[in-house]
A and B are shown apart, each in its own frame.
Chain A
Amino acid sequence: MALNKESNGYVILFSTALVLVTAVALVTVFSFTRDTVSNNQKLEKMQNILQAARINVERDQAETKYKESITDAFALTEKGEVKMKGEVDNVFNIDLAAELKKKEGEEKLFPVFVCNKNDSTFYILGMRGKGLWDAIWGYVALGKDMNTIYNAVFDHKGETPGLGAEIKEGWYTAQFPGKKIVNDKGEFVSVSVIKKGTAPESDYNVDGVSGGTLTSNGLHDMLKMFFGAFYEYSKTQKNAAPAKPEPVALPADSLQQPDTLATALVPVDSSKNNTTTTNL
Chain B
Amino acid sequence: MIFGTTPSQTVGPYFAIGLPFDAGPFVVPEGTPGAIHITGTIYDGAGVPIPDFLLETWQADPGGRFADLHGYGGASEMPGFRGFARYGLEDGDGTFDIVTVKPGPVPGLDGQLQAPHIDVSVFARGMLNRCVTRIYFADETEANAADPGLARVPADRWRTLLAQPTSDGYTIDFRFQGPDETVFFDV
Do A and B interact with each other, yes or no? no
Interface residues of B (CB under 8 A from A): none
Interface residues of A (CB under 8 A from B): none
